[in-house]
Structure 1
Amino acid sequence: MQKIGRQLLALTALCSLVTASNSLAQAKKTYKVGAAVYGLKAEFMQIWVNALKQHPAIKDGTVQLTVFDGNYDALTQNNQFDTMITQKFDGIIFAPIDIQAGAEAVDKAFKAKIPVVGSNTQVNSKNLTAYIGSNDVLAGELVAQSVVTRMGGKGNVVILEGPIGQSAQIQRRQGIMKVLAKNKNIKVLEQKTANWSRAEALTLTENWLTAHPGQINGIIGQNDEMALGAIEALKSQNLDPKKIPVAGVDGVTDAILSVKKGDMASVLQDARAQAQGALDLVLRQAIGSSYQPKSDIWKQYATGMPWKAGTQKVYSVPWTPITIKNADQLLSQRK
């Protein structure tokens, strides 16, 4: 009996050791997460990536992050998903270049049982686990209304659009057109994509200023980079952006500085909240209901964007209008 008792004690101790070892292994698990972003040439997505890298779960080693530059190409992003699926990533954060083409990539990851959380730009797939971003229709309304108001509700505008087919381009256009439909004395002279690019917007605006001399009264940019390119074009022809209102979206550094000068209007899109919030949502899927978000962005937006156990399909990060009063504060956050 004593021998049996000793064997039972030994077996119990062994089981406890195995359980403890398993718990320790689980506690030390590193999660492989990929961030597939549409492109890294412009500052906004660079801010987004840098903010993601500052997430506590990355800094403490819980997450091994790999950033994939999509180079503004849907096929490239699709191939990057193949790589992450083959390498059995635990989760993917996706900022797609194309709202339709990105769906195939999401569906492949879903079949491989890899959760995909959208961030910043959207994709038309029912298999997307969740999405965190800002309301781009509202952004279009804000940017258009800013220009229309400064124009006194009458005159001619040109519109610089993002890459055709990306959700931000589609939805910001909807917002812009919603405002213009209410202002019958505003005429659209030109409307074309400059692909989020400052250089392309500079060239395009210069061409428009030549084609419509003295007729352009306002410039609506779907992002800041293009708005800044338009300002360069105005100044190259000795035109004052204070007299020809220009507006953009994102709150990149040069745009905030331009708002301070009175050269343009803009609204801040919180890249940090979108990026870090997305990683928390990925970890909620990978770890389960016991996971509590590690980023402080959920406290920052507790009223407007509550965590709700990480089970919501859509999380909407509020916009922040940039003003002369808050410009320095926003710039200080970049340091």
Structure 2
Amino acid sequence: MTKKAIYGAIVTGCIGLAVFFVFNYLVKDSFAHTESEIDYVIGVSQPNLREPWQVLMNEEIKTEVEKHNNIRVIYTDAAQSTKKQIENIQTLRSYGIDLLIVSIDDSSALSPVISDVYQDIPVIVLGRGVEGYNYTLYIGSDNYLIGEMAAESAIDLLGYKHRKNIIEIQGLPSTAQARERSNGFRNTIFKESNNVISDAIVANWQRDKAEDGLKKLLKTRNKPDLIYAHNDAMALGAYRAINSMNLSDVIIIGSDGVNKSNGGLQLVKEKKINTTFITPTGGKESIRYALDILSQEVEIPKKVILRNYEVTKKNVSHYLKGESALTKSDSDQKVNLTLGFAQVGNESEFRSANTKSIIAAAEKEGIDLIFENAENNQEKQIAIIKGFIDKGVDVIAFSPIVEYGWEEVLQEAKDAGIPVILSDREIEVEDPSLWTSFIGSDFVEEGRRAARWLVNNMRTSKEKINIIELEGTKGSAPALGRKEGFNEILRDNPNLQVLESLSGDFTFKKGKEMMKNALLRYGKDVDAVYAHNDDMAIGAIEAIEEFGLKPGNDIKVISIDATKKALYALSSEKLNFSVECNPLLGPQLMKAAMDLKQGKNIPMKVITSEETFTQEEANKEIKRRSY
């Protein structure tokens, strides 16, 4: 062999060894553990790792992964390219991952991709939501609420004397996050002040685009009084533009609140922006829930909504202390706990199942449960809660009869240092700190799902489809939310019209009575019934039969709850469609109460996972349904 050939062989061998060691290093860096220890492989798809918030999310995921030696995690970064992120997700699928964790910039483009992945493996969506319900779990913030909070802060900072000028700097328009933050901000500004949003700049979450866009705009506009940017990166861009143009006294509000260089907390501290909102990334929670999903040992919610925190110059030093300012404890030590639960009543099959679930879960966890029933009377429910305060229980939970009228008693609970969990139904109070967490359903989405079935299945030659709506208890969160979601879909489908909305109070008796009255007024002109729960739907079915018509055929019937009664009505083709509202909230309620007792922060909202059922799907579900 010649010297040249020998030299070539040596070089080739060295290159091969180098490639081998580099590959081994990269694999170890991504996979972290040996093959023999691995139970699950998880893929993480990030839209970019430039934004401080996305960087923090990735760091939190990696920190949590280090606590578990049985998982392998593969990380990808799309470098702000939607096309690249779609390719990354397909590559992760080809690796045979067991679960995908994904954070996105462009929900319009990524939603169908995520929906497709969800057909094969579980998907956790972080931070920025997707369109529809085709994912396993969403962990993130209520972006509409963030917009509302930003608007309330803007109104306070601007004062109420004179009309002020606002510029909004928006994220990527195709993302649900940007739309929701904008809607929350604009609706609150218009409703609660006379300030005007004169201009909007689309900067796609990017600092430089925000800076350049604002500079260009201000060449032809007067100086604004306030700028609201959908994230802190764009808020920094706004500051740089204002500063470079020698403008002063412009209030800047951002969002994300990351404690890093050029993150929101530093920007507030350095007085570059006035306010930010800490928006938890959900990184550490995603790994914990991923393991729960893969082990299939606990019930998984559909959405976990994390709490946001307003940061100003007055409290920024507190939050600069780091995670300890937000997380009190990670202890899992068993605790002695007394929980007071004030049930709304026993108005339906749903409520009976809900009560049984709470009692059984408390017994299983060894929790001292004081359970009292308000019998659909708000005054009695308030008196029950006052009694819990007097007894000094550790946690109070209740399912509120209506949304309003709770401030006084909840202020008493807060003053006594007793956290309050809302179960199944939400409330409207000016001070959201009066309650700690909500565990229940997305009532608005339930209404949307009911309406979508009508849109997709009521295709007739008739010009108008006439609907009777049987509402739940007036002023209750389920009745308001289910009506709102239903009407939202109907607005885009003018051929569907509600002839009349009647209050059936969630009961069989009232539902039947209201349907009888509707049939006497409208007769065969009624095409469909939308009932806010199964009990009213079953009452309506009886009324339709007594009127001489065939429910499910002559008049379509849609309900919410999907109890066993409804499934039997579906299988007998008297009911057409039912949207599940899961009453089995006991285990999640007990976990939240124990976490609070242990000093942990818990999510602001936990939205249960729920399905829908048609006549064809009912028989299979009946065998599994326990309520």
TM-score (norm 2): 0.43
1:61 to 54, 63, 69: 69
Question: Does 1:37 find its partner at 2:46?
Answer: yes
What is the aligned residue count? 285
1:35-69 Cα distance to aligned partner (Å, 9 max, x none): 112211111100110111000x4344222112211
Taking only aligned residues, the RMSD between alpha carbons, in angstroms, comes to 2.3
Matched with 1:180 is 189
Q: Which runs of 5+ in 1 are unaligned?
A: 1-24, 290-308
1:120 to 114, 127, 134: 127
Instruction: Return the offset for 1:233.
Output: 1.3
Which segment drifts farther, 231-240 or 256-265?
A: 256-265
Question: Does 1:265 find its partner at 2:275?
Answer: yes
Question: Does 1:251 find its partner at 2:248?
Answer: no
| CA contact 1:248–1:265 (8 Å) conserved in 2 | yes
Instruction: Return the offset for 1:133.
Output: 0.3
Matched with 2:104 is 96
Instruction: Give 2:280's aligned amino acid.
Output: D
Matched with 2:118 is 110
Instruction: Return the offset for 1:284.
Output: 1.4
1:194 to 203, 224, 227: 203
Separation (CA, whole Å) in 2 of partners of 1:106 and 1:195 = 21
1:138 to 135, 141, 145: 145
Matched with 2:346 is none
Separation (CA, whole Å) in 1 of partners of 2:267 and 2:38 = 46
TM-score (norm 1): 0.79
Separation (CA, whole Å) in 1 of partners of 2:118 and 2:89 = 11
Name the CA shift for 1:220/1:52 in 2 (closer, same or farther; >3 Å): same
- Work out the percentage of aligned pairs sharing the same amino acid: 22
Which segment drifts farther, 31-40 or 64-73?
A: 64-73
Separation (CA, whole Å) in 2 of partners of 1:234 and 1:104 = 39
Instruction: Return the offset for 1:121.
Output: 0.8
Question: Does 1:170 find its partner at 2:179?
Answer: yes
1:105-137 Cα distance to aligned partner (Å, 9 max, x none): 22222232x110111011124320011101110
Separation (CA, whole Å) in 2 of partners of 1:98 and 1:138 = 20
Runs of 4+ in structure 1 deviating by more than 6 angstroms, as ranges, are none
Instruction: Return the offset for 1:184.
Output: 5.4
Question: Does 1:328 find its partner at 2:336?
Answer: no
Separation (CA, whole Å) in 2 of partners of 1:76 and 1:181 = 39
Instruction: Give 2:308's aligned amino acid.
Output: W
Separation (CA, whole Å) in 2 of partners of 1:321 and 1:51 = 21
Q: Which runs of 5+ in 2 are unaligned?
A: 1-33, 325-627
Instruction: Return the offset for 1:199.
Output: 1.4
| CA contact 1:53–1:59 (8 Å) conserved in 2 | no
Matched with 1:152 is 159
Matched with 1:206 is 215
Instruction: Return the offset for 1:163.
Output: 1.0
Question: Does 1:74 find its partner at 2:63?
Answer: no
SS in 1 for 2:253: strand
SS in 1 for 2:129: coil
Question: Does 1:129 find its partner at 2:136?
Answer: yes
| CA contact 2:274–2:313 (8 Å) conserved in 1 | no
Matched with 1:84 is 92
Name the CA shift for 1:235/1:26 in 2 (closer, same or farther; >3 Å): closer
| CA contact 1:160–1:201 (8 Å) conserved in 2 | yes
Which segment drifts farther, 130-139 or 190-199?
A: 190-199
| CA contact 2:201–2:214 (8 Å) conserved in 1 | no
| CA contact 2:279–2:309 (8 Å) conserved in 1 | yes
SS in 1 for 2:317: helix
SS in 2 for 1:158: strand
Question: Does 1:48 find its partner at 2:54?
Answer: no
* Higher radius of gyration, 1 or 2: 2
Name the CA shift for 1:197/1:334 in 2 (closer, same or farther; >3 Å): farther
Separation (CA, whole Å) in 2 of partners of 1:43 and 1:330 = 16
Instruction: Return the offset for 1:334.
Output: 7.5
Instruction: Return the offset for 1:325.
Output: 4.6
SS in 1 for 2:219: helix
| CA contact 1:122–1:131 (8 Å) conserved in 2 | yes
Separation (CA, whole Å) in 2 of partners of 1:310 and 1:47 = 28
| CA contact 1:109–1:116 (8 Å) conserved in 2 | yes
